[in-house]
Amino acid sequence: MPAPGAYGPSSVDWVREEVEHLEASSGVARDGRPLVVLTTVGVRTGLRRKTPLMRVEHRGTYAVVASMAGADHHPAWYANVLARPQVELRDGAVVLPLVAREVDGPERARWWSRACTVFPSYATYQSRTRRRIPLLLLEAPVVAG
């Protein structure tokens, strides 16, 4: 789970406004799409950062896609997750502490198919860039004991 600390709202108006809307509503975007809010800790700032992302869930596991709408660079939240995989995910009114891991191979192929079913634009985004768009799974932390 992200370390307690100051929240640094996004400097991007639509991101900040969408997060505010999602936290005040049931997790449905202003345009009707099902979204979740991913909370990470900023690599450079140490601030808690919140990002609205498409809701891709299967049997209690969530996937997040670092698409950046097909840009040639990764979104900032991706670097945050790589540096600190303990994240928080808000799905409607439910807030979950989860751990992220990047997937590859057949596991990635299955989850990529699920993600593209939820949001077909991911396939278009992949065609816009030469980078392989990262896909990460968010799962419940393993409790030692």
Please determine, for residue 131, whether its predicted confidence score (pLDDT) is greater than 90.
yes
Say if CB 27 and CB 90 are below 8 A apart.
Answer: yes
Domain boundaries, position 103 = 13-139
Pairing of strands 135-139, 94-102: antiparallel
Q: Would residue 92 count as lying in a domain?
A: yes
Q: Would residue 89 count as lying in a domain?
A: yes
Q: Would residue 3 count as lying in a domain?
A: no
Per the structure, the count of domains in the chain is 1
Torsion 32-99-122-20 (CA) sign: positive
Q: Would residue 54 count as lying in a domain?
A: yes
- pLDDT band, very low/low/confident/very high, at 11 (cuts 50, 70, 90): confident
Q: Would residue 5 count as lying in a domain?
A: no
Q: Would residue 145 count as lying in a domain?
A: no
Q: Would residue 144 count as lying in a domain?
A: no
CATH code of 84's domain = 2.30.110.10
The 10s digit of each residue's pLDDT in 71-102 is 999 999 999 999 999 999 999 999 999 999 99
Q: Is the entire prediction scored with pTM above 0.75?
A: yes
The 10s digit of each residue's pLDDT in 47-75 is 999 999 999 999 999 999 999 999 999 99
